[in-house]
Amino acid sequence: MLQFILKRLGLALLVALTVSFISFILLFLSGDPASALAGESATDQDVAAIRELYGFDRPMLVQYASWLFDALRGDFGESYYFRLPVASLLAERLQVTMLLGLCGISFALLTAVPLGVVAAIRPNSMIDRFALFLSVAGQALPSFWFGLILIVAFSIKLQWLPASGTATWKHFIMPTIVLGYYAMPAIMRLTRGGMLEVLSSDYIRTARAKGASEGRVMFKHALRNAIIPVVSLAAVQMGFMLGGSIVVESIFALHGAGYLAWESIARNDLPTVQALILVFSMFYIVFTFLADVLNAWLDPRMRAG
Amino acid sequence: MRKVLKSTAAVLAMTVAGAASADKANDTLNVAFTKELENVDSYFNSSREGVVLQRAIWDGLIYRDPDTNEYEGNLATEWNWIDDVTLELKLREDVTFHNGEKFNADDVVYTVNYVADEANGAKTQRNVNWMKSAEKVDDYTVRIILKEPFPAAIEFLSGPVSMYPDEYYAKVGPTGMGLEPVGTGPYKVTEVVPGQHFVLEKYEGYHDSPKGQPSIGKIDIRTVPDVNTQLAEMFNGALDLIWQVPADQAEKMAQLDQFNVVNESTMRIGYLTLDAAGRTGEDNPFTKQKVRQAVAHAIDSQTLVDALLKGKSKVVKSACFPSQFGCEQEVTTYDYDPEKAKALLAEAGYPDGFTTEFYAYRDRDYAEAIANFLNAVGIETEFNMLQYSALRELRASEGTPVSFQTWGSYSINDTSAITSQFFKFGDLDDARDPEVRDALAIADSSTDPEVRKENYSKALKMIADNAYWVPMFSYNTNYVFNNDVSYTPTPDEVLRFTTMTWN
């Protein structure tokens, strides 16, 4: 088991390094960083001054190496755009994103798991159909559109909820729903599928035969087994939410890490983008790693892989 | 209990009526920015949002009236040229910074010497790199020394060059100034969350400035990137004023009674730049004057203005914005005449037209319409939409045959801010015409206004005769605010909080 974990950890680190290198190269390919930083109203002199100031005239590999060297010592440098330490910028923006991600995944789990269970207990019932409809809609609705519909309904028509900002807990309600709803269908279908499979298995029949109550059969025996793949799926979804809430953050003006990443790419703010990519890939790696370990712990056959 | 009931009722009433009136009651104007501002320190940002805050927080030595374009004293009371490169200014004696520091010659000397030193890395070098240094004559008299004669100096001193408190700036630097800005301006800053949130409060000790006295007590600015969200916040009263609203959205808002929509022009113009110098290849069709003139005849700028830009946009004929000093209007013009365009192409040796790469970086709808005008006369376009920085790099390194560009002159009302930036053999000069360059060089450095005018005119006429650029239109912007707010926007795209009042 330890060997498995170490092997996985080494692989994860290699992935992180590769991701950071590729993204660095891609940023350079996407346009002259000095022009992007200088902005659209810059004159030739402005661009030249910025190129020299940040050393963009050095070879790309040298620039990457110098970034990596500093990053390994924990120094992510200063944002070219904001002129503030990247670390403090990230700390501030990640709070919003992590809060949103936690709310989103909780919302998804709290709605998807019960619905999935009920749908499995009564397959093809009205509830099952309703759950199917919800999940199809959730998969099909683009989040920018769903977000705007919620804004029209709850901010403009009913005036119950604020449309943008992070000032109060009320500001997080709509973003949570939009973000969580996107993750919900997969979790629900997986719960339903898992439950259906488990419910028809022998040990459930045994449990029923020995006279266990229906509630005990459902939650103690069935759900506990059916939920295992759901946990690993939720872990991956969580990684996605932390790195991929760009659209939601932009619509609701949340100023989290996703939006910062999106904007920093457009601005070619290399230190910020590099640090964010490292953090995002770490999220993915940590969550998939946890899911792997969890699965391996549950199923010894996977430890070989 | 009664109090609770009363406040609940008030909240309910507010919810029903929309929260707009509440902000007037709190004397707080809620404004949205679309873009994250990088740093409030005005020497270290290059955004329009930055200019808006700069005009509210700081003052320049001189002030240009946005309506009459006349210069008046602001922090300086009078100024005169000692020689071509020395400007002496007398300063006001009754000005205090927001932090209590007295304004005097030391502040001017420190600010100028700091920003003019390239090593300090001011982001917009063009705003400051014409100054060499500043010297104190006495407590309220300073001299600004220029590197070389620079007639637009007064325009810059009335615009982007604002005065900082020397002791405070020496202590905190650009980063500290960005987080806790201190100026002499009509509004002081009480809160900064970088890129996201800025709160300004009326500065009670504001001097008797030509900007006028601020009226609204508090300005609360949040960055809301999505235009649709901004509109939603206007509807539910969380925002009072937004700007840069796209034409189609603004038209819809204008139909509603609770909003005022005001359209005003900006200094930005849209133009095509053609590869006359043959940087993309010696045999490039655009090296032929007749082909370039054909392009100019092929485009119906009036239709672009009427159908797409709308508002106060105008057709532009000369390679500058009409209000700019030296922007000659009496130049060769090219009417919309597709037949003539085809004839010119045939004369140039392209009776069946040709195929070319066409580049653009913004306003895809405009760019596509322009490309269609070219297609209509036989110039087939391979349409390329690039990121701004990618297109700029391409244009600087190997050039583009034809690209749709725009330029806003960073609100400087002088032809040196546009024509001279692109026709003096810089990276982005597609014409590389030595005669144009020489005329511009004289115009840029002469201190005699007549000599300047004459040479800008000469350069702009050559540019038009040769159709190096095909100027098309000026841009406009829409300001939307609710009925509680009274505001008359200016044509330079700068929001002026000082002139805003409650109805």
Q: Does B228 touch chain A (CB under 8 A)?
A: yes
CB contact under 8 A, B194 and A253: no
Q: Does A157 touch chain B (CB under 8 A)?
A: no
How close A94 gets to chain B, by Cα (Å)? 14
Q: Does B398 touch chain A (CB under 8 A)?
A: no
On chain B, the residues whose CB falls within 8 A of the CB of A263 are 36
Top residue of B38, B128, B244 to mutate, by most chain A CBs within 10 Å, is B38
pLDDT tens-digit profile of A149-166? 999 999 988 889 999 988
Give the whole-number percent of chain A exceeding pLDDT 70.
97
What's the pLDDT score for residue B1? Answer: 39
Q: Does A159 touch chain B (CB under 8 A)?
A: yes
Q: Does B351 touch chain A (CB under 8 A)?
A: no
Confidence of residue B8 (pLDDT cuts 50, 70, 90): very low
Both tokens of B303, joined, read 């239709």
- For every residue of B209-237, DSSP letters joined together read -TT----SSEEEEEE---HHHHHHHHHTT
Q: Round to whole Å and give the CA distance between A66 and A50.
A: 18
Pairing of strands B131-138, B187-193: unpaired
Q: Does A161 touch chain B (CB under 8 A)?
A: no
CB contact under 8 A, A45 and B126: yes
| Strand partners for B76 | B91
Determine contact, residues B114/B120, Cβ cutoff 8 Å: yes
On chain B, the residues whose CB falls within 8 A of the CB of A253 are 222-226, 229
Q: Round to whole Å and give the CA distance between A41 and A44.
A: 10
Top residue of A32, A144, A171, A245 to mutate, by most chain B CBs within 10 Å, is A32
B9: DSSP letter = H
Q: Does A244 touch chain B (CB under 8 A)?
A: no
Both tokens of A302, joined, read 């996977």
On chain A, the residues whose CB falls within 8 A of the CB of B121 are 49, 53
Determine contact, residues B495/B269, Cβ cutoff 8 Å: no
Q: Round to whole Å and give the CA distance between B317 and B334.
A: 8
Confidence of residue B29 (pLDDT cuts 50, 70, 90): very high
What's the pLDDT score for residue B7? Answer: 41
| Strand partners for B80 | B88
What's the CATH number of domain B35-189, 1.20.120.1760, 3.90.76.10, 3.10.20.600, 3.40.50.2020?
A: 3.90.76.10
Burial of A69 (0-12, 13-18, 19+ CB in 10 A): exposed
ipTM over 0.90: no
Q: Round to whole Å and give the CA distance between A152 and B94.
A: 51
How close A22 gets to chain B, by Cα (Å)? 18
For all residues of chain A together, what is the average pLDDT?
85
Q: Is the pLDDT of residue A302 over 70?
A: no
Q: Round to whole Å and give the CA distance between A103 and A183.
A: 12
Confidence of residue B205 (pLDDT cuts 50, 70, 90): very high
Top residue of A89, A159, A254 to mutate, by most chain B CBs within 10 Å, is A159
CB contact under 8 A, A32 and B393: yes
Mean pLDDT of B354-368: 95
pLDDT tens-digit profile of B86-102? 999 999 999 999 999 99
Cβ neighbours, 10 Å, residue B375: 15
What's the pLDDT score for residue A304? Answer: 60
Domain residues of chain B, as ranges?
35-189, 266-476
Q: Does B218 touch chain A (CB under 8 A)?
A: no
CB contact under 8 A, A164 and B427: no
Q: Is the pLDDT of residue A136 over 50?
A: yes
Fold agreement (B35-189, B266-476): no
On chain B, the residues whose CB falls within 8 A of the CB of A35 are 388-389, 392-393, 396
Mean pLDDT of A172-184: 92
Cβ neighbours, 10 Å, residue A31: 21
Q: Does B444 touch chain A (CB under 8 A)?
A: no
Q: Which of B493, B70, B480, B472 is nearest to B306 (CA)?
A: B472
Q: Does B236 touch chain A (CB under 8 A)?
A: yes
What's the pLDDT score for residue B11? Answer: 38
Where does B266-476 sit in CATH, by number? 3.10.105.10
Give the whole-number percent of chain B exceeding pLDDT 70.
96
Both tokens of B38, joined, read 């990088």
What's the pLDDT score for residue B20? Answer: 42
Confidence of residue B21 (pLDDT cuts 50, 70, 90): very low
Pairing of strands B218-223, B28-33: parallel
Cβ neighbours, 10 Å, residue A66: 13
Both tokens of B137, joined, read 């004559």
CB contact under 8 A, B229 and A46: no
What's the pLDDT score for residue B376? Answer: 96
Residue of chain B nearest A248, judged by CA positions: B226
pLDDT tens-digit profile of B227-253? 999 999 999 899 999 999 988 889 999
Q: Does A255 touch chain B (CB under 8 A)?
A: yes
| Strand partners for A109 | none
Mean pLDDT of A16-21: 84
| Segment among A172-176, A245-249, B347-351 with least mean pLDDT | A245-249
What's the pLDDT score for residue A299? Answer: 63
Q: Round to whole Å and give the CA distance between B480 and B487.
A: 10
Which residues between 27 and 46 in chain B have a beta carbon less than 8 angstroms from any beta carbon of chain A? 36, 38-39, 44, 46
CB contact under 8 A, B222 and A253: yes
Cβ neighbours, 10 Å, residue B2: 6
Q: Round to whole Å and give the CA distance between B338 and B294.
A: 8
Mean pLDDT of A267-275: 86
Greater pLDDT, B21 or A247: A247
Give the whole-number percent of chain B exceeding pLDDT 90.
81
On chain B, the residues whose CB falls within 8 A of the CB of A155 are 232-233, 235-236
Nearest to B229 among A30, A89, A252 (CB): A252
Q: Round to whole Å and give the CA distance between B282 and B208.
A: 60
A-B CB pairs within 8 A amount to: 129
On chain B, the residues whose CB falls within 8 A of the CB of A41 are 46, 124, 407-408, 410
CB contact under 8 A, A255 and B233: no
How close B410 gets to chain A, by Cα (Å)? 6
Q: Is the pLDDT of residue A119 over 60?
A: yes
Assign residue B410 a region: left if phi > 0, alpha if psi is -120 to 50, beta otherwise? left
Q: Does A89 touch chain B (CB under 8 A)?
A: yes
Mean pLDDT of B165-171: 96
Q: Is the pLDDT of residue B164 over 60?
A: yes
Both tokens of B431, joined, read 């014409």
pLDDT tens-digit profile of A61-111? 888 888 888 888 888 888 888 888 999 999 999 999 999 999 999 999 999
What's the pLDDT score for residue B6? Answer: 42
